[in-house]
Amino acid sequence: MVVEKVLEVKDLYISFHTFAGEVKAIRGVSFDLRKGETLAIVGESGSGKSVTTKSIMRLLPEHNSEIKSGQILFEGKDLTKLTDKQMQKIRGKDISMIFQDPMTSLNPTMKIGSQIMEPLIKHQKLSKAAARERAIELLKLVGIPKPEIRVDQYPHQFSGGMRQRVVIAIALACNPKVLIADEPTTALDVTIQAQILELMKDLQRKIDTSIIFITHDLGVVANVADRVAVMYGGKIVEIGTADEIFYNPQHPYTWGLISSMPDMETNDEELYSIPGTPPDLLDPPKGDAFAPRNPYVMKIDLEQEPPFFKVSDTHYAATWLLHPDAPKVEPPEAVKRRRNQFVGVKGGK
Amino acid sequence: MVKYLGQRLIYMFITLFIVATVTFFLMKLIPGSPFNNFEKLSEFQQNLLLEKYGLNDPVPVQYFKYMSNLVKGDLGVSFQFNNTPVTELIGNRIGPSAVLGLQAMILGSLIGIFLGAIAALKQNSWIDYTSTFLAVVGKSIPSFIFAGLLQYYIAVKLGWLPVMLWRGPEYTILPTIALAMFPLSISARFMRTEMIEVLGSDYITLAKAKGASYWQISVKHALRNALIPVVTVLGPLAVSLMTGSLVIEKIFSIPGLGEQFVKSIATNDYPVIMGTNLLFALLFVVVILVVDILYGIIDPRIRITGGKAK
């Protein structure tokens, strides 16, 4: 089966120029996004998830960020090479974005309707009246009651969850091929989170879009993702289907993440947390960036960066533990427990 | 809205009443009397005059007399200007001050807002540095020096415009520029700061993510939001400009309110002091009301909708 790739990121390097020096925020990231799928990018703060996706939209601050090398291919075009004008035609039309904080991402002095109409008028060349009709439709689509009245209201008259629905409506206005959701539920409370996730899944089916979902919440990942990329220190350290990442993780960092997530089996024991702090990307370590925090660290981890080892056709992990010469190590209890569940569910596959 | 305005009107009257009272008693603390002129008036004549204008009465009695006249709209007569009614005096003088103040305000704030916005959009470019430099110069050079320079170079050396006096539109240009420097620099500095903050906010990123052009982002999204705090400073500034900058009026020999106000204080001309001060206070409260209404127009979050909520 040939899978259609909508978006392809190839060996991307991004740096920020600061007073302290060059921060190498993204150090060789490659992944692809397939038609209709949801790819989750997980990782702790500062791992480069947001920078990667902002670079796809070319929304990084111009004065201090730089795409050092690499390509971002969308429909055969390299987005890193486009002019601002060409990029404006893609933003909001082919690729759009949902932001983290709905409380601040809407313009407080502009009517909700006008904010939804903006991309419609710009990209689909709709008349004002037609755009308004469509805005009302979109509000209805994202589940806002009385859209005819709501369309003329201002953001302060909406609750946080409702505002996020509006932001989603704006993002979906032109039926984008790629939707980037940058922690869309982080700022919402748990019940609203569930509603918003449900809504996104539902809309994805309706308009057949591909989603890149950035989050640090593994519970959310399990809920929405088809595939998962785990990022650490400006690199992807493991990528695979959601089942593979959750039930058969290979990278010690992924083990750490999963062990630090409570599940039904977790008793009164203290929840695991990964010791140490993320690497300083001003001066990235020579070997594996995770090595100083890795309980399974080997000598080679400190000297040489691990390449990607293939686990299955869809599953790759960058850890020396997968090297044929590496000693066999036992993953943590929580990971083993999950692996056994998985084997049970899938009938010993 | 009507209810809100009514409420505000009542507050305005209370404010004016307090201003009138405080001014009255403070004014009585100024040493001397309006007729302290021993070269031309004997002590007997002075006493006669004081008696005539009721200035020998105890201060509280004078106060109640003044307030009851004030309620009837009678501001009294000037001691210095041949018993001319204060309302007439102010009426004759307010024109030039208002014209000058308004022109300076409009010119200064428009250019200032424009410069500030451009500076923020082109942050750390030569445009930014130039406008910041202008703002610092405008704020730190006193207006009388600036006025003198304008008179010397533009009026005397180049002969493009009249040096002073108040005889037509061309006479207003130099004093307007001199007076506009202050509101210009204030609004430029405020606008730049606000604009930079707004441009860094999430909704600007969202607007970019929608594919909005640079122009749409700056004008439709950023400008309006950045204007809100600027309006706050410009309101009271407008009053102080409209009521006349004494220095500028003096340098350009403009028959305005400011000049008369200072003269009246120097000569203990009580009714004129009271009248002018009350006018300033009235303008001030009106401008604050206008600013509050403007807020509502610019910022829907503080719009006064009353019971219109749907």
ipTM for the whole complex: 0.80
pLDDT of residue B38: 65
Q: Do residue B57 and residue B116 come from a single domain?
A: no
* pLDDT exceeds 80 at position B166: no
Which amino acid is present at A146? K
pLDDT (mean) for A315-319:
86
Is residue A52 helix, strand or coil? Answer: helix
Average pLDDT value over all residues in chain B: 80
Residue closest to A101 by CA, chosen among B141, B91, B205, B163: B205
Mean pLDDT of A93-114: 87
The per-residue pLDDT for range A249-299, each reduced to its tens digit, is 888 888 888 888 776 666 666 777 787 778 877 777 777 888 778 878 877
How many CB atoms are closer than 10 A to CB B281?
Answer: 20
Q: Is the pLDDT of residue A120 over 50?
A: yes
- Residues B268 and B149 placed together within one structural domain of the fold: yes
B225 and A107: CB-CB below 8 Å?
A: yes
- Give residue A269's pLDDT: 67
Cα of A299 to nearest chain B Cα, Å:
44
Range of lowest pLDDT (B16-30, B146-160, B203-217): B146-160
Can you name the residues that pair with A317 across neighbouring β-strands? A238, A309
Question: B149 pLDDT band (50/70/90 cuts)?
Answer: confident
pLDDT at residue number A343: 61
pLDDT at position A344: 56
Q: Total domain count for chain B?
A: 2
Q: Please name the residues in contact with B286: beta carbons below 8 A apart, sequence gap of 6 or more.
A: B12
Residues B50 and B194 in one domain: no
Question: Is residue A197 over pLDDT 70?
Answer: yes
How do the residues of chain A divide into helix, strand and coil, expressed in percent and rounded to 5?
Answer: 35, 20, 40
3-state class (DSSP) for residue A4 = coil
Q: What's chain B look like in SS3?
A: CHHHHHHHHHHHHHHHHHHHHHHHHHHHCCCCCCCCCCCCCCHHHHHHHHHHCCCCCCHHHHHHHHHHHHHCCCCCECCCCCCCEHHHHHHHHHHHHHHHHHHHHHHHHHHHHHHHHHHHHCCCCHHHHHHHHHHHHHHHCCHHHHHHHHHHHHHHHCCCCCCCCCCCHHHHHHHHHHHHHHHHHHHHHHHHHHHHHHHCCHHHHHHHHCCCCHHHHHHHHHHHHHHHHHHHHHHHHHHHHHCCCHHHHHHCCCCCHHHHHHHHHHCCCHHHHHHHHHHHHHHHHHHHHHHHHHHHHHCHHHCCCCCCCC
Give me the torsion for CA of A208, A214, A219, A221, rounded to 10°.
40
pLDDT of residue A348: 41
Q: Most confidently modeled of A39-53, B55-69, B154-168?
A: A39-53
Q: Can you give the residue ranges of every domain in chain A? A: 5-225, 250-345
B258 to B244, B251, B280: CA distances (angstroms): 5, 12, 11
> Band of the pLDDT at A349, cuts 50, 70, 90?
very low
Do B215 and B102 belong together in one domain? yes
Q: Do residues B11 and B133 both lie within one domain?
A: no
- Is residue B83 a part of any domain in this protein? no
Q: What is the CATH number of the domain that holds B142?
A: 1.10.3720.10
Q: Give pTM, 2 decimals.
A: 0.77
Buried b (16+ CB within 10 A) or exposed e, A315-347: bbbbbbbbeeeeeeeebbebbebbeeebeeeee
Query: Does B105 lie in the same domain as B15?
Result: no
Sign of the C-alpha dihedral computed for residues B6, B8, B10 and B12 taken in this order = negative
pLDDT (average), residues A164-172: 87
B166: closest CA among B248, B79, B281, B241? B248
What is the rounded average pLDDT of the residues B75-90?
78
Please indicate, yes or no, if residue B192 is contained in any of the structural domains: yes
Q: Taking CB atoms and an 8 Å cutoff, what residues of chain A touch B220?
A: 110
Q: Do A109 and B224 touch (CB under 8 A)?
A: yes
Q: Flag whether pLDDT at A338 surpasses 80.
A: no
Cβ-based interface (< 8 Å): residues of B facing A:
123-124, 201-203, 205-214, 216, 220-221, 224-225, 298-301, 310
Average of pLDDT values for B139-163? Answer: 78
Q: What is the pLDDT of residue A229?
A: 92
In this prediction, residue B243 has a pLDDT band, given cuts at 50, 70 and 90, of low
Residues in chain A whose beta carbon is closer than 8 A to a beta carbon of chain B? 57, 59, 63, 84, 88-93, 96-97, 99, 101, 104-111, 118-119, 122-123, 149, 154, 156, 167, 170-171
End-to-end CA distance of chain A: 21
**Domain that residue B49 falls in:** 2-71
CB A249 within 8 A of CB A331: yes
Model pLDDT, residue A41? 92
Average pLDDT over residues A168-188: 86
Q: A93 vs B207: CB contact, 8 Å cut-off? A: no
* Cα-Cα-Cα-Cα dihedral sign, residues A33, A37, A42, A45: positive
- In terms of domains, do B120 and B53 share one? no
A34-61: average pLDDT: 87
Task: Kindly give, in sequence order, each residue whose CB lies less than 8 Å from that of residue B307, ignoring residues fewer than 6 positions away.
Answer: none
Fold of A5-225: Rossmann fold (3.40.50)
CB atoms within 10 A of CB B198: 21
CB contact at 8 A, A293 and A285:
no
Q: What pLDDT is recorded for position A2? A: 59
Q: Using the beta-carbon criterion (under 8 Å), do B310 and A149 form an inter-chain contact?
A: yes
How would DSSP label each residue in A162-228?
Answer: HHHHHHHHHHHTT--SEEEEESTTTTS-HHHHHHHHHHHHHHHHHHT-EEEEEES-HHHHHHH-SEE
